[in-house]
Structure 1
Amino acid sequence: MIEPGIEWRVSDRLVPYDEALGEMEARAASVRVGEARELVWLLEHPPLFTAGTSADPVELINPLGFPVHEAGRGGRYTYHGPGQRVGYLVLDLEKRGKDIRCFVHALEGWMIAALSRLGVEARREAGRIGIWTGKGPDEAKIGAIGVRVKRWVTMHGFSINVSPDLAHFGGIVPCGISEYGVTSLQTLGLEPSMKLVDAALEQEFPAFLNNLTGISEGA
Protein backbone atom coordinates (compact mmCIF):
# COMPACT_ATOMS: atom_id res chain seq x y z
CA MET A 1 0.00 0.00 0.00
CA ILE A 2 1.31 3.46 -0.93
CA GLU A 3 1.55 6.02 1.85
CA PRO A 4 -1.23 8.66 1.68
CA GLY A 5 1.42 11.40 1.45
CA ILE A 6 2.88 9.95 -1.75
CA GLU A 7 1.26 10.18 -5.19
CA TRP A 8 1.79 7.05 -7.30
CA ARG A 9 1.36 8.04 -10.94
CA VAL A 10 1.56 5.89 -14.08
CA SER A 11 1.52 7.60 -17.48
CA ASP A 12 0.15 5.58 -20.40
CA ARG A 13 1.66 7.82 -23.10
CA LEU A 14 5.19 8.70 -24.16
CA VAL A 15 6.10 11.73 -22.07
CA PRO A 16 8.49 14.27 -23.69
CA TYR A 17 11.63 14.65 -21.60
CA ASP A 18 11.41 18.43 -21.23
CA GLU A 19 7.85 18.11 -19.97
CA ALA A 20 8.83 15.50 -17.40
CA LEU A 21 11.86 17.47 -16.23
CA GLY A 22 9.87 20.67 -15.84
CA GLU A 23 7.14 18.95 -13.87
CA MET A 24 9.66 17.15 -11.70
CA GLU A 25 11.51 20.34 -10.81
CA ALA A 26 8.27 22.20 -10.05
CA ARG A 27 7.02 19.34 -7.91
CA ALA A 28 10.31 19.16 -5.97
CA ALA A 29 10.10 22.87 -5.17
CA SER A 30 6.51 22.46 -3.97
CA VAL A 31 7.40 19.42 -1.85
CA ARG A 32 10.21 21.37 -0.22
CA VAL A 33 7.85 24.09 1.03
CA GLY A 34 5.11 21.63 1.99
CA GLU A 35 2.67 22.55 -0.78
CA ALA A 36 2.57 19.18 -2.59
CA ARG A 37 2.74 15.48 -1.92
CA GLU A 38 5.80 13.44 -2.71
CA LEU A 39 5.69 11.67 -6.06
CA VAL A 40 6.59 8.38 -7.71
CA TRP A 41 6.04 8.73 -11.45
CA LEU A 42 6.29 5.73 -13.79
CA LEU A 43 6.47 6.55 -17.49
CA GLU A 44 8.07 5.98 -20.89
CA HIS A 45 9.88 8.53 -23.06
CA PRO A 46 10.25 8.77 -26.83
CA PRO A 47 13.78 7.80 -27.97
CA LEU A 48 16.38 10.18 -26.52
CA PHE A 49 19.64 10.44 -24.66
CA THR A 50 20.23 12.26 -21.39
CA ALA A 51 23.57 13.65 -20.28
CA GLY A 52 24.44 13.61 -16.61
CA THR A 53 26.90 15.93 -14.92
CA SER A 54 29.82 13.55 -15.69
CA ALA A 55 28.93 12.96 -19.36
CA ASP A 56 31.93 12.78 -21.72
CA PRO A 57 31.16 13.90 -25.31
CA VAL A 58 33.36 11.13 -26.74
CA GLU A 59 30.83 8.62 -25.37
CA LEU A 60 28.02 10.06 -27.55
CA ILE A 61 27.87 8.47 -31.01
CA ASN A 62 24.16 9.00 -31.82
CA PRO A 63 24.00 7.77 -35.45
CA LEU A 64 20.20 8.08 -35.51
CA GLY A 65 20.25 11.68 -34.32
CA PHE A 66 18.11 11.25 -31.23
CA PRO A 67 17.59 14.37 -29.09
CA VAL A 68 20.15 14.84 -26.32
CA HIS A 69 19.01 16.50 -23.10
CA GLU A 70 21.04 17.92 -20.23
CA ALA A 71 19.53 16.15 -17.26
CA GLY A 72 21.13 17.84 -14.25
CA ARG A 73 21.44 14.49 -12.49
CA GLY A 74 24.59 12.59 -11.63
CA GLY A 75 26.14 10.09 -14.02
CA ARG A 76 26.97 10.04 -17.72
CA TYR A 77 24.94 9.31 -20.85
CA THR A 78 21.75 7.25 -20.61
CA TYR A 79 19.25 6.15 -23.23
CA HIS A 80 15.49 6.35 -22.69
CA GLY A 81 12.85 5.11 -25.08
CA PRO A 82 9.66 3.11 -25.61
CA GLY A 83 9.68 -0.23 -23.84
CA GLN A 84 11.74 1.07 -20.95
CA ARG A 85 10.10 1.72 -17.60
CA VAL A 86 11.40 4.98 -16.18
CA GLY A 87 10.71 5.84 -12.56
CA TYR A 88 11.06 9.39 -11.26
CA LEU A 89 11.07 9.92 -7.51
CA VAL A 90 10.34 13.22 -5.80
CA LEU A 91 10.85 12.29 -2.15
CA ASP A 92 11.66 14.41 0.89
CA LEU A 93 14.83 13.03 2.44
CA GLU A 94 14.64 15.62 5.20
CA LYS A 95 12.03 13.37 6.81
CA ARG A 96 13.57 10.13 5.51
CA GLY A 97 17.04 10.13 7.03
CA LYS A 98 18.92 12.85 5.08
CA ASP A 99 21.32 10.23 3.74
CA ILE A 100 21.94 10.27 -0.02
CA ARG A 101 24.13 7.18 0.06
CA CYS A 102 21.37 5.31 1.86
CA PHE A 103 18.80 6.54 -0.68
CA VAL A 104 20.80 5.24 -3.66
CA HIS A 105 21.49 1.91 -1.96
CA ALA A 106 17.80 1.50 -1.11
CA LEU A 107 16.83 2.43 -4.68
CA GLU A 108 19.13 -0.28 -6.03
CA GLY A 109 17.61 -2.75 -3.58
CA TRP A 110 14.09 -1.80 -4.68
CA MET A 111 14.92 -2.51 -8.32
CA ILE A 112 16.62 -5.80 -7.46
CA ALA A 113 13.65 -6.94 -5.35
CA ALA A 114 11.12 -6.00 -8.06
CA LEU A 115 13.14 -7.80 -10.73
CA SER A 116 13.32 -10.86 -8.48
CA ARG A 117 9.51 -10.95 -8.42
CA LEU A 118 9.66 -11.05 -12.23
CA GLY A 119 12.10 -13.97 -12.31
CA VAL A 120 15.34 -12.04 -12.83
CA GLU A 121 18.36 -12.60 -10.60
CA ALA A 122 19.68 -9.05 -10.54
CA ARG A 123 22.46 -7.54 -8.45
CA ARG A 124 24.81 -4.66 -7.79
CA GLU A 125 28.39 -4.88 -9.05
CA ALA A 126 31.21 -3.12 -7.20
CA GLY A 127 32.67 -0.26 -9.20
CA ARG A 128 29.83 -0.22 -11.75
CA ILE A 129 26.73 1.92 -11.89
CA GLY A 130 23.36 0.27 -12.39
CA ILE A 131 21.73 -3.12 -11.94
CA TRP A 132 23.20 -6.23 -13.54
CA THR A 133 22.18 -9.77 -14.41
CA GLY A 134 23.77 -12.86 -15.97
CA LYS A 135 27.26 -14.29 -15.67
CA GLY A 136 30.25 -14.57 -17.97
CA PRO A 137 29.42 -13.79 -21.60
CA ASP A 138 25.75 -13.28 -20.66
CA GLU A 139 26.47 -10.57 -18.09
CA ALA A 140 24.63 -7.37 -18.97
CA LYS A 141 23.00 -4.29 -17.54
CA ILE A 142 19.23 -4.36 -17.12
CA GLY A 143 18.66 -1.19 -15.07
CA ALA A 144 20.15 2.27 -14.70
CA ILE A 145 20.16 4.79 -11.86
CA GLY A 146 20.73 8.54 -11.93
CA VAL A 147 19.58 10.88 -9.18
CA ARG A 148 19.78 14.47 -8.07
CA VAL A 149 19.05 15.79 -4.59
CA LYS A 150 18.24 19.49 -4.11
CA ARG A 151 17.49 20.85 -0.66
CA TRP A 152 17.00 17.24 0.45
CA VAL A 153 14.32 16.55 -2.17
CA THR A 154 15.14 13.84 -4.72
CA MET A 155 14.66 14.05 -8.48
CA HIS A 156 15.19 11.66 -11.41
CA GLY A 157 15.52 8.00 -10.42
CA PHE A 158 15.85 4.77 -12.39
CA SER A 159 15.07 2.86 -15.56
CA ILE A 160 14.40 -0.84 -16.19
CA ASN A 161 14.67 -2.34 -19.66
CA VAL A 162 11.41 -4.15 -20.34
CA SER A 163 11.24 -4.38 -24.14
CA PRO A 164 13.17 -1.45 -25.64
CA ASP A 165 15.04 -1.56 -28.96
CA LEU A 166 18.45 -2.50 -27.54
CA ALA A 167 20.14 -1.34 -30.76
CA HIS A 168 19.38 2.23 -29.68
CA PHE A 169 21.86 1.86 -26.82
CA GLY A 170 24.57 1.71 -29.49
CA GLY A 171 24.32 5.48 -29.79
CA ILE A 172 26.19 5.94 -26.51
CA VAL A 173 28.59 4.23 -24.16
CA PRO A 174 25.89 3.53 -21.53
CA CYS A 175 26.92 5.14 -18.24
CA GLY A 176 30.53 5.08 -19.44
CA ILE A 177 30.79 1.27 -19.33
CA SER A 178 31.85 -0.24 -22.67
CA GLU A 179 32.93 -3.72 -21.56
CA TYR A 180 29.40 -5.06 -21.07
CA GLY A 181 26.16 -5.04 -23.01
CA VAL A 182 22.59 -4.23 -22.06
CA THR A 183 19.66 -6.61 -21.81
CA SER A 184 15.92 -6.55 -21.17
CA LEU A 185 13.13 -8.70 -19.80
CA GLN A 186 12.15 -9.51 -23.37
CA THR A 187 15.69 -10.56 -24.32
CA LEU A 188 15.82 -12.81 -21.25
CA GLY A 189 12.70 -14.60 -22.48
CA LEU A 190 10.37 -13.16 -19.85
CA GLU A 191 7.01 -11.50 -20.41
CA PRO A 192 7.71 -7.86 -21.34
CA SER A 193 4.71 -6.38 -19.55
CA MET A 194 4.80 -2.87 -18.11
CA LYS A 195 1.84 -3.74 -15.89
CA LEU A 196 3.75 -6.63 -14.33
CA VAL A 197 6.80 -4.43 -13.79
CA ASP A 198 4.70 -1.70 -12.21
CA ALA A 199 2.96 -4.22 -9.95
CA ALA A 200 6.31 -5.61 -8.79
CA LEU A 201 7.61 -2.11 -8.08
CA GLU A 202 4.48 -1.24 -6.13
CA GLN A 203 4.69 -4.43 -4.08
CA GLU A 204 8.29 -3.73 -3.09
CA PHE A 205 7.85 0.01 -2.52
CA PRO A 206 7.00 -0.17 1.22
CA ALA A 207 10.22 -2.11 1.86
CA PHE A 208 12.15 0.53 -0.12
CA LEU A 209 10.78 3.29 2.12
CA ASN A 210 11.61 1.29 5.24
CA ASN A 211 15.18 0.85 3.99
CA LEU A 212 15.76 4.56 3.53
CA THR A 213 16.67 4.94 7.18
CA GLY A 214 17.81 1.38 7.82
CA ILE A 215 21.25 1.19 6.15
CA SER A 216 24.34 1.73 8.25
CA GLU A 217 27.45 3.54 7.05
CA GLY A 218 29.18 0.20 6.76
CA ALA A 219 26.66 -1.34 4.38
Structure 2
Amino acid sequence: MGFLCGAPPAFAIVGESASDAGLEAQSVMVLKRARGGSGFCTGVVLSERVVLTAAHCVAGPNDTRLHWRGDDSQPKLVDVAAVALHPEFLARAPKTRERSVDLALVRAASPLPFRRASLSSRDALTLGERVRIGGFGVTQEGAGRTGGTFRAADLTIRAPLSHLLGWADSGDGRKRGACTGDSGGGMFDAAGEVIGVVAWTTGPNGRGCGGVTQSILVAPQRGWIERVTRGWE
Protein backbone atom coordinates (compact mmCIF):
# COMPACT_ATOMS: atom_id res chain seq x y z
CA MET A 1 0.00 0.00 0.00
CA GLY A 2 1.20 3.54 -0.35
CA PHE A 3 1.18 7.03 -1.75
CA LEU A 4 0.36 7.44 -5.40
CA CYS A 5 3.03 9.91 -6.39
CA GLY A 6 6.62 8.88 -6.24
CA ALA A 7 10.05 8.83 -7.74
CA PRO A 8 10.78 7.62 -10.27
CA PRO A 9 7.44 7.98 -12.10
CA ALA A 10 5.08 6.24 -12.23
CA PHE A 11 2.16 3.84 -12.35
CA ALA A 12 -1.48 4.72 -12.91
CA ILE A 13 -4.87 3.09 -13.21
CA VAL A 14 -4.54 -0.68 -12.99
CA GLY A 15 -6.98 -2.98 -14.76
CA GLU A 16 -9.70 -2.16 -17.27
CA SER A 17 -9.70 1.54 -18.16
CA ALA A 18 -10.92 3.89 -20.86
CA SER A 19 -10.39 7.42 -22.14
CA ASP A 20 -12.74 10.16 -20.94
CA ALA A 21 -12.41 13.47 -22.75
CA GLY A 22 -14.79 15.20 -20.36
CA LEU A 23 -12.78 14.36 -17.25
CA GLU A 24 -9.47 14.93 -19.02
CA ALA A 25 -10.59 18.48 -19.85
CA GLN A 26 -10.73 19.11 -16.08
CA SER A 27 -7.43 17.41 -15.19
CA VAL A 28 -3.75 18.32 -15.38
CA MET A 29 -0.48 16.64 -14.49
CA VAL A 30 1.29 17.89 -11.36
CA LEU A 31 5.07 17.53 -11.49
CA LYS A 32 7.12 17.44 -8.30
CA ARG A 33 10.87 17.74 -7.94
CA ALA A 34 12.24 16.36 -4.70
CA ARG A 35 15.51 15.28 -3.16
CA GLY A 36 16.46 11.91 -4.58
CA GLY A 37 14.22 12.11 -7.64
CA SER A 38 11.02 13.44 -9.10
CA GLY A 39 7.52 12.21 -9.81
CA PHE A 40 4.12 13.16 -11.13
CA CYS A 41 0.53 13.10 -9.99
CA THR A 42 -2.82 14.34 -11.25
CA GLY A 43 -4.73 17.49 -10.32
CA VAL A 44 -8.29 18.75 -10.75
CA VAL A 45 -8.68 22.22 -12.27
CA LEU A 46 -10.96 24.47 -10.19
CA SER A 47 -10.40 27.73 -12.07
CA GLU A 48 -8.08 29.17 -14.69
CA ARG A 49 -5.32 29.42 -12.09
CA VAL A 50 -6.20 27.01 -9.26
CA VAL A 51 -5.68 23.23 -9.13
CA LEU A 52 -6.74 20.85 -6.36
CA THR A 53 -4.49 17.83 -5.77
CA ALA A 54 -3.08 15.63 -3.01
CA ALA A 55 -0.72 17.28 -0.54
CA HIS A 56 1.93 14.58 -0.89
CA CYS A 57 2.08 15.42 -4.62
CA VAL A 58 3.54 18.90 -4.22
CA ALA A 59 6.68 20.62 -3.00
CA GLY A 60 7.35 24.36 -2.82
CA PRO A 61 6.37 26.58 -5.76
CA ASN A 62 9.88 26.39 -7.24
CA ASP A 63 9.76 22.58 -7.26
CA THR A 64 6.20 22.08 -8.54
CA ARG A 65 5.01 22.48 -12.13
CA LEU A 66 1.80 21.89 -14.09
CA HIS A 67 2.03 19.96 -17.35
CA TRP A 68 -0.21 18.87 -20.22
CA ARG A 69 -0.18 18.37 -23.97
CA GLY A 70 -1.84 21.09 -26.00
CA ASP A 71 -4.14 20.75 -28.99
CA ASP A 72 -0.99 20.70 -31.12
CA SER A 73 0.21 17.63 -29.13
CA GLN A 74 3.17 19.63 -27.86
CA PRO A 75 4.04 19.54 -24.15
CA LYS A 76 3.07 22.59 -22.10
CA LEU A 77 4.68 23.50 -18.79
CA VAL A 78 3.44 26.19 -16.40
CA ASP A 79 5.23 27.56 -13.34
CA VAL A 80 3.54 27.58 -9.95
CA ALA A 81 3.09 30.84 -8.04
CA ALA A 82 1.87 29.41 -4.73
CA VAL A 83 1.12 26.13 -2.94
CA ALA A 84 -1.19 25.69 0.06
CA LEU A 85 -1.22 22.46 2.08
CA HIS A 86 -4.30 21.58 4.09
CA PRO A 87 -3.54 22.49 7.74
CA GLU A 88 -4.46 18.95 8.84
CA PHE A 89 -2.11 17.20 6.41
CA LEU A 90 0.48 14.98 8.10
CA ALA A 91 3.18 13.58 5.83
CA ARG A 92 3.93 10.84 8.39
CA ALA A 93 0.31 9.61 8.48
CA PRO A 94 0.75 6.52 6.25
CA LYS A 95 3.26 5.14 8.76
CA THR A 96 1.64 6.32 11.98
CA ARG A 97 -2.01 5.80 10.92
CA GLU A 98 -2.90 9.29 12.14
CA ARG A 99 -5.80 11.27 10.73
CA SER A 100 -4.61 13.38 7.81
CA VAL A 101 -6.31 15.50 5.16
CA ASP A 102 -4.11 14.87 2.13
CA LEU A 103 -5.12 17.89 0.06
CA ALA A 104 -3.28 20.82 -1.49
CA LEU A 105 -4.14 23.77 -3.69
CA VAL A 106 -1.79 25.00 -6.39
CA ARG A 107 -1.93 28.46 -7.96
CA ALA A 108 -0.61 28.58 -11.52
CA ALA A 109 1.59 31.49 -12.55
CA SER A 110 -0.42 31.87 -15.78
CA PRO A 111 -3.95 30.92 -16.91
CA LEU A 112 -4.76 27.27 -17.63
CA PRO A 113 -6.83 26.38 -20.73
CA PHE A 114 -9.04 23.83 -18.98
CA ARG A 115 -12.68 23.34 -18.10
CA ARG A 116 -13.49 24.01 -14.46
CA ALA A 117 -14.43 21.00 -12.36
CA SER A 118 -17.48 21.18 -10.11
CA LEU A 119 -17.05 20.16 -6.47
CA SER A 120 -19.78 18.14 -4.80
CA SER A 121 -21.48 19.38 -1.64
CA ARG A 122 -22.21 15.82 -0.48
CA ASP A 123 -20.42 14.90 2.73
CA ALA A 124 -21.22 11.18 2.60
CA LEU A 125 -21.27 8.37 0.04
CA THR A 126 -23.58 5.39 -0.43
CA LEU A 127 -22.54 1.74 -0.37
CA GLY A 128 -22.60 0.34 -3.89
CA GLU A 129 -22.55 3.78 -5.50
CA ARG A 130 -20.71 3.88 -8.82
CA VAL A 131 -17.92 6.41 -9.19
CA ARG A 132 -15.28 7.15 -11.80
CA ILE A 133 -11.64 7.97 -11.17
CA GLY A 134 -9.24 9.49 -13.68
CA GLY A 135 -5.51 10.06 -13.80
CA PHE A 136 -2.30 10.03 -15.81
CA GLY A 137 0.06 7.08 -15.90
CA VAL A 138 0.77 3.63 -17.28
CA THR A 139 -1.50 0.79 -18.30
CA GLN A 140 0.02 -1.71 -15.88
CA GLU A 141 2.42 -1.79 -12.98
CA GLY A 142 6.01 -1.41 -14.11
CA ALA A 143 5.26 -0.15 -17.63
CA GLY A 144 6.55 3.36 -16.98
CA ARG A 145 7.00 4.29 -20.63
CA THR A 146 3.24 4.35 -21.21
CA GLY A 147 2.73 7.14 -18.68
CA GLY A 148 1.32 10.55 -19.52
CA THR A 149 -2.00 9.42 -21.00
CA PHE A 150 -5.23 10.20 -19.17
CA ARG A 151 -7.28 7.12 -18.32
CA ALA A 152 -10.47 6.59 -16.34
CA ALA A 153 -11.95 3.61 -14.53
CA ASP A 154 -15.33 2.87 -12.95
CA LEU A 155 -15.36 1.72 -9.32
CA THR A 156 -17.90 0.95 -6.60
CA ILE A 157 -18.04 2.54 -3.14
CA ARG A 158 -17.40 -0.01 -0.41
CA ALA A 159 -17.29 -0.09 3.38
CA PRO A 160 -16.33 1.54 5.62
CA LEU A 161 -18.31 4.73 5.08
CA SER A 162 -16.77 7.91 6.46
CA HIS A 163 -17.31 11.67 6.47
CA LEU A 164 -13.62 12.18 5.69
CA LEU A 165 -12.65 9.37 3.32
CA GLY A 166 -14.16 7.34 0.51
CA TRP A 167 -13.10 3.78 -0.37
CA ALA A 168 -13.83 2.12 -3.70
CA ASP A 169 -12.92 -1.03 -5.60
CA SER A 170 -13.98 -2.81 -8.78
CA GLY A 171 -17.06 -4.28 -7.13
CA ASP A 172 -16.63 -7.53 -9.05
CA GLY A 173 -13.39 -8.88 -7.59
CA ARG A 174 -11.29 -7.82 -10.56
CA LYS A 175 -8.05 -5.92 -10.20
CA ARG A 176 -8.98 -2.33 -11.01
CA GLY A 177 -8.16 0.97 -9.35
CA ALA A 178 -5.64 3.74 -8.87
CA CYS A 179 -1.90 3.43 -8.53
CA THR A 180 1.19 5.65 -8.39
CA GLY A 181 0.63 8.73 -10.54
CA ASP A 182 -3.14 8.92 -9.95
CA SER A 183 -2.90 10.76 -6.63
CA GLY A 184 -4.62 14.10 -6.75
CA GLY A 185 -6.98 12.99 -9.48
CA GLY A 186 -10.71 13.31 -9.06
CA MET A 187 -13.20 10.71 -7.92
CA PHE A 188 -16.37 11.73 -9.79
CA ASP A 189 -19.98 10.82 -9.03
CA ALA A 190 -22.74 10.03 -11.54
CA ALA A 191 -23.48 13.75 -11.93
CA GLY A 192 -19.89 14.42 -12.96
CA GLU A 193 -19.04 16.30 -9.77
CA VAL A 194 -15.81 15.77 -7.84
CA ILE A 195 -16.68 13.97 -4.61
CA GLY A 196 -13.12 13.09 -3.65
CA VAL A 197 -9.43 13.42 -4.45
CA VAL A 198 -7.51 10.16 -4.85
CA ALA A 199 -4.81 9.79 -2.20
CA TRP A 200 -3.98 6.15 -1.50
CA THR A 201 -4.25 2.63 -2.87
CA THR A 202 -3.50 -0.98 -2.11
CA GLY A 203 -3.57 -4.15 -4.16
CA PRO A 204 -5.95 -7.11 -3.83
CA ASN A 205 -3.51 -8.88 -1.50
CA GLY A 206 -2.66 -5.78 0.53
CA ARG A 207 0.32 -4.87 -1.62
CA GLY A 208 0.71 -3.00 -4.89
CA CYS A 209 -2.23 -1.41 -6.69
CA GLY A 210 -5.60 -2.18 -8.22
CA GLY A 211 -7.39 -3.33 -5.07
CA VAL A 212 -8.85 -0.53 -2.95
CA THR A 213 -8.65 3.15 -3.91
CA GLN A 214 -9.05 5.75 -1.17
CA SER A 215 -10.01 9.39 -1.66
CA ILE A 216 -10.33 12.46 0.53
CA LEU A 217 -13.92 13.72 0.39
CA VAL A 218 -14.00 17.34 -0.78
CA ALA A 219 -17.34 18.54 0.66
CA PRO A 220 -16.12 18.66 4.29
CA GLN A 221 -13.06 20.64 3.10
CA ARG A 222 -14.84 23.19 0.92
CA GLY A 223 -14.52 25.89 3.57
CA TRP A 224 -10.74 25.61 3.45
CA ILE A 225 -10.72 25.42 -0.36
CA GLU A 226 -12.83 28.57 -0.65
CA ARG A 227 -10.81 30.52 1.92
CA VAL A 228 -7.53 29.80 0.16
CA THR A 229 -8.83 30.53 -3.32
CA ARG A 230 -10.42 33.82 -2.17
CA GLY A 231 -7.09 34.83 -0.68
CA TRP A 232 -5.44 34.26 -4.05
CA GLU A 233 -7.90 36.42 -5.98
Taking structure 2 as the reference length, the TM-score comes to 0.26
Structure with higher strand content: 2
Greater relative contact order structure (CA < 8 Å, 6+ sep): 2
Structure with higher helix content: 1
Taking structure 1 as the reference length, the TM-score comes to 0.27
